[in-house]
Amino acid sequence: MDDCGVLVQVEAVGKVADGRATVRVRSEVGAAAAFWCGGPTGVGREHHVEWTVEEDAAWGGNTRPATSISPGVDEKEGDRIVFRGRLGLTGDGGATLEVAGTHILFDLADPPPSTAVDGTWVEISVERNSVSLWPYLL
């Protein structure tokens, strides 16, 4: 998949009502808040992370052609995260989104997109509560 993940800096740490940890992180391509799936962390710490998303990519729904051809991670309307990158169709009902050298896996909702979109720049908007960050050591 990727060689070194995304390097993020933790800007804020919190918890939601069910006890899960949340973090707000910033990377070279943007910032967002998501669930934290690692050990305790603190503000100012840096981690290499893998993004996971538990929401399907639905062409014409939450997935559309990108408005610019640069990678990005942005929060929209407080409860959504928009990932911008190059789409790769896997041929088995899934896709990857390459964002700044890392790949985020997605399942594709029916109907799947045309193979013509393979390799194009897209934006995928997902609910923030479907996004998790998994830190790892290099």
Residues of the chain where predicted confidence (pLDDT) is lower than 50: 1-2
pLDDT at position 77 is 79
How confident is the model over 55-90, as pLDDT tens digits? Answer: 999 999 999 999 999 999 999 977 999 999 999 999
DSSP 53-82: E-S-B-BTTTEEE-SSSS-EEEEETTTEEE
d(CA 118, CA 120) in angstroms, rounded, equals: 6
Token pair in block for residue 125: 């908007």
Q: What is the pTM of this model?
A: 0.93
Sequence spans of domains, the chain: 6-136
Residue 115: CB partners within 8 Å, gap ≥ 6? 89
**Partner residues linked to 23 by β-bridges:** 13, 34
